[in-house]
Amino acid sequence: MQTENYLIRKPSLEKLFNNLISGGKTVIAPKAKGNLALFDKVQAFGEITEDYIVTTNSAKSVVFPRTEKLFSYHKSKEKTEITDASSSAFPDVILWGTRPCDAAAFVPLTDTFNGDYKDIIFNNRIEKVILLSFSCSRSDDSCFCTSVNSGPGNTSGSDVLFTKLSGCEYLAEVMTPKGQLLVSENIDLFETKTSEDKEKSLAVVATRFNQEEIQAKLQNLFENPVWDDKSRACLGCGSCAYVCPVCSCFDIQDEAHGNKGTRLRCWDSCGFSMFTLHTSGHNPRETQGARWRQRILHKFLYVPNKSKIAGCVGCGRCSRSCPADINILETLTSI
Amino acid sequence: MSNPNIYIPYLMKIEKITLEAPGVKTFRLKFENDEDAEAFSFKAGQFGEYSIMGVGESTFCIASSPTRKGYIECTFRQAGKVTSALALAEEGDVVGFRGPYGNTFPMDEWKGKNLLFIAGGIALPPMRCVIWNALDTRENYQDITIVYGAKSVDDLVYKDELAEWRTRPDVRLVTTVDPGGETSDWQGEVGFVPMILEKTAPKAENTIAIVCGPPIMIKFTFPVLEKLGFTEENIYTTLENRMKCGFGKCGRCNVGEVYVCKDGPVFSYEQLKMLPAEY
């Protein structure tokens, strides 16, 4: 669809928020918690913080929760009954305050869960999610969105992208039919906008590497000392995968309570030593270096080769959250 | 699978349990729902996720042949959490099964050729599916040779079937046990599979070699086959890696760019040589 541009003022943004809440939507937005900004459920406009470059956690849990019920079962002497969790009523969610990198991550996530088969639970969830993103006016040393085909004002994945133009004026770029519907339902809050002065309001994010060049180099880099060198400090804690908005590797686990229980899909990480461990004790990725290599190759070689999209959105969360100060940029710029 | 939620397993009743070797059991599983049984089909080489509700899922091949309708069989060694729970199950109990997943052995392409099966230990089950598939459509293939070895006589699986294959005029069976694993009345060979293979293999001409076994056996078997004149494209194996989903999403079974669960588990040696050592 063709992008529609509007202008909205801060008091109207608050009204929009209130309309969404009173319309029964669940709003997930950045909320201050100690020194952190975290995506969380909010009830009042005042709960939303604007003081964040990116939140510590990503927004992926809205469509790919940390623990997702796949089905529940009930065993009795006579029979086993299964209740499908995909037919549950998933909530109408407004993701408010996602950054362009957060929104861009929904593209590879959607690709993963729709490749060879359609993951019904993921699709039932994402169908009911609307992304109201906000462009970045600030960045830090960990940001590298411009190196992975994104940017501080990139619209990819967003239904509506707001860019703060002045103290109280926001440009609203309506990108999708979902966004269009939301705006049309609240059209009295929006003003027609013709001039385009978005760029000067955006943060400057330096380009750190060329993605195509990295992809080409990685093609022949499986055996290379860089993997051990750059991962020596790795604790294998999996933080990088947990905060990553794109990482979608998962485990399947059962939780039993007597003769009832559930089968769950849970976040996992290629950084964990047990991720690929065979029951025999054999481990195809025996060292942390081999696991770090998998992480980089998956995002910058395997995904782009297969789907022609990046497996990383350059949000920098992995580098900010790493307890051992491992910086993905250091690896990428050294190869 | 008729259910749009791919994670919902078929419910299967354990119809028969066979103790194959110490810690190794075969389950014959029948669909609880007749419509599921009707709709289900698979091909030689495919695998599935077998589960005990409340404990979890485990990945094994379908060990029975697609030519035997109405049931599937799996053979597993009690080793981890799920296989230990499965080992406690009794005939009549219900387990879960998701599948079939993965690619297949090219049985049609092999028509008119000799087949040489080489298996070690608990790796005979994935091969058994192919062996029975070939034997049930015997007219499609020329000479069939099976070279099978285990640590000890006790560890050989499918003892009844080995006895049957031994007496069939249209199968040549060579069994071997590792040195020290033989019993006083052992009639077969003594020695490791690659050595016995070198001694007993049929000619490589017009022959497909299908190899399955522990990594160490595979490592020493491929060079023997090459020495015997087998070309890379005529040698096949089936890989194993830890899996959760079975259809290329959970992210752990990949060998480089290739997912064992959906691009495999069946690979030719030619394909295998292109992959990094990540299995």
Q: Which two tokens stand for residue B210?
A: 């299908």
Chain B: residues touching A (Cβ < 8 Å):
3-9, 11, 51, 53-57, 79-80, 83, 94, 215, 240-242, 244-245, 247-257, 262, 276, 278-279
What 3-state DSSP class applies to B122? Answer: helix
Mutate to test the interface with A, among B12, B32, B53, B260 (most CBs of A within 10 A): B53
Distance from CA of B250 to the nearest CA of A (A): 5
CATH topology of domain B114-238: Rossmann fold (3.40.50)
Architecture of the B10-101 domain: Beta Barrel (2.40)
- The most distant pair of C-alpha atoms in chain A lies apart, rounded to whole Å, by 71
B3 vs A contacts (CB less than 8 Å): 84
Please judge whether A116 and B244 are an interchain contact, meaning their C-beta atoms are less than 8 angstroms apart. Answer: no
DSSP B139: G
B14 vs A contacts (CB less than 8 Å): none
- Give the integer Cα–Cα distance in Å for B256 and A30: 37
pLDDT-derived band at A84 (thresholds 50, 70, 90) equals very high
Facing A277 at nearest CB: one of B83, B242, B247: B242
Distance from CA of A279 to the nearest CA of B (A): 6
Please judge whether B262 and A116 are an interchain contact, meaning their C-beta atoms are less than 8 angstroms apart. Answer: yes
A277 vs B contacts (CB less than 8 Å): 242
Q: Is A78 on the interface with B (CB under 8 A)?
A: no
Q: Which two tokens stand for residue A22?
A: 């009173």
DSSP A264: E
Please judge whether A256 and B55 are an interchain contact, meaning their C-beta atoms are less than 8 angstroms apart. Answer: yes
For residues A236-248, average pLDDT:
97
List, for chain B, all residue ranges whose pLDDT scores fall below the cut of 50. 1
B7 vs A contacts (CB less than 8 Å): 70-71, 252, 263, 265
According to the model, what pLDDT value does residue A167 have? 79
According to the model, what pLDDT value does residue A11 have? 95
Q: What burial letters (b/e) apply to A116-139, b meaning 16+ CB within 10 Å?
A: eeebbbbbbbbebbbbbbbbbeeb
- Give the integer Cα–Cα distance in Å for A151 and A204: 9
For residues A36-43, average pLDDT:
96
Please judge whether A268 and B254 are an interchain contact, meaning their C-beta atoms are less than 8 angstroms apart. Answer: no
Q: How many CB atoms lie within 10 A of CB B159?
A: 14
Q: Residue B119: beta bridge partners?
A: B148, B212
A108 vs B contacts (CB less than 8 Å): none
Domain that holds residue A135: 4-334
According to the model, what pLDDT value does residue A117 have? 86
pLDDT-derived band at A87 (thresholds 50, 70, 90) equals confident
pLDDT digits 0-9 by tens, A92-108: 999 999 999 999 999 99
According to the model, what pLDDT value does residue A3 have? 83
- Give the integer Cα–Cα distance in Å for B256 and A25: 43
Q: Which two tokens stand for residue A238?
A: 């999996």
* 8 Å CB contact between B255 and A302: no
For residues A271-283, average pLDDT:
94
**What is the dihedral angle through the alpha carbons of B163, B168, B172, B174, rounded to the nearest 10 degrees?**
10
Please judge whether B249 and A113 are an interchain contact, meaning their C-beta atoms are less than 8 angstroms apart. Answer: yes
According to the model, what pLDDT value does residue B1 have? 45
Please judge whether A75 and B4 are an interchain contact, meaning their C-beta atoms are less than 8 angstroms apart. Answer: no
DSSP B161: H
Say how many domains are in chain A.
1
Please judge whether A275 and B242 are an interchain contact, meaning their C-beta atoms are less than 8 angstroms apart. Answer: yes
The structure tokens 């089909």 sit at B41
Alpha-helix residue ranges (DSSP H) falling in A56-169 = 100-104, 106-112, 120-126
pLDDT digits 0-9 by tens, A108-125: 999 999 988 899 999 999
Q: Angle at CA B78, nearest 5°, toward B74 and B81?
A: 105
Mutate to test the interface with A, among B7, B11, B83, B84 (most CBs of A within 10 A): B7
pTM above 0.80, yes or no: yes
Segment holding B28, helix H or strand E: strand B24-31
pLDDT digits 0-9 by tens, A114-163: 988 899 999 999 999 999 999 999 999 999 999 999 999 999 999 999 99
- Give the integer Cα–Cα distance in Å for A270 and A320: 18
According to the model, what pLDDT value does residue B3 have? 72
According to the model, what pLDDT value does residue B214 have? 86
DSSP A85: G
Cis peptide before A91 (omega within 30 of 0): no
pLDDT, mean over chain A: 94
Mutate to test the interface with B, among A63, A64, A74, A80 (most CBs of B within 10 A): A80
Q: Is the pLDDT of residue A169 over 70?
A: yes
Distance from CA of B7 to the nearest CA of A (A): 7
Q: Where are the domains of chain B?
A: 10-101, 114-238
Please judge whether B83 and A290 are an interchain contact, meaning their C-beta atoms are less than 8 angstroms apart. Answer: no
Size of interface A-B (CB pairs under 8 A): 115
Q: Which two tokens stand for residue A174?
A: 């309506």
- Give the integer Cα–Cα distance in Å for A246 and A244: 5
Q: Is the pLDDT of residue A284 over 50?
A: yes
Chain CA centroid to CA A94, Å: 14
For residues A31-50, average pLDDT:
96
According to the model, what pLDDT value does residue A115 have? 82
Please judge whether A222 and B276 are an interchain contact, meaning their C-beta atoms are less than 8 angstroms apart. Answer: yes
